[in-house]
């Protein structure tokens, strides 16, 4: 898994870095190490903390962005959104495999 972390208008702290890596490992379980993760964290003019994640996996891309009053909460929200997208992709993929094989052997008569 490759992780790229970018901070805009924020100070890069080891605590934030550790939190992001911990949350990225949570997403890696879906892909078994074949994942590129890009994080961007920033503060806007209204003092809202933003987090954004871009996932590039085998045959799958995911994007999630959210804001909150703290960056830690924004990171949690973004990871939750990304997990839902990945789970939906995985369930569709599983369903498509089972649907095509069952229809392939369906008797028409």
Q: Is residue 73 part of a domain?
A: yes
- Number of structural domains in the chain: 1
Q: How confident is the model at residue 27 (pLDDT cuts 50, 70, 90)?
A: confident
Q: Residue 10 CB: number of other CB atoms within 10 A?
A: 14
Q: Is residue 87 part of a domain?
A: yes
Q: Tell me: the pLDDT tens digits for 32-75?
A: 778 899 999 999 999 999 999 999 988 889 999 999 999 999 99
Question: What's the pTM value of the predicted model, to 2 decimals?
Answer: 0.81
Residue 46 DSSP code = T
Q: What is the pLDDT, as a whole number, of residue 85?
A: 92
Q: Is residue 109 part of a domain?
A: no
The rounded mean pLDDT for the chain is: 86
Q: What is the pLDDT, as a whole number, of residue 74?
A: 96
CATH number, domain with residue 75: 3.30.160.100
Q: Is residue 27 part of a domain?
A: yes
The parent domain of residue 94 ranges over: 2-104
């Amino acid at each position: 898994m490759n992780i790229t972390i970018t901070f805009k208008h924020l100070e890069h702290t080891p605590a934030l870095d550790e939190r992001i890596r911990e949350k990225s490992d949570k997403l890696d379980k879906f892909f078994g190490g074949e994942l590129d993760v890009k994080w961007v964290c920033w503060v806007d003019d209204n003092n809202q903390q933003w987090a954004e994640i871009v996932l590039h996996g085998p045959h799958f891309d995911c994007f999630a962005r959210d804001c909150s009053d703290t960056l830690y909460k924004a990171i949690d929200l973004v990871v939750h959104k990304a997990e839902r997208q990945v789970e939906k992709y995985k369930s569709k993929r599983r369903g498509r495999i089972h649907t095509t094989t069952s229809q392939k052997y369906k008797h028409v008569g």
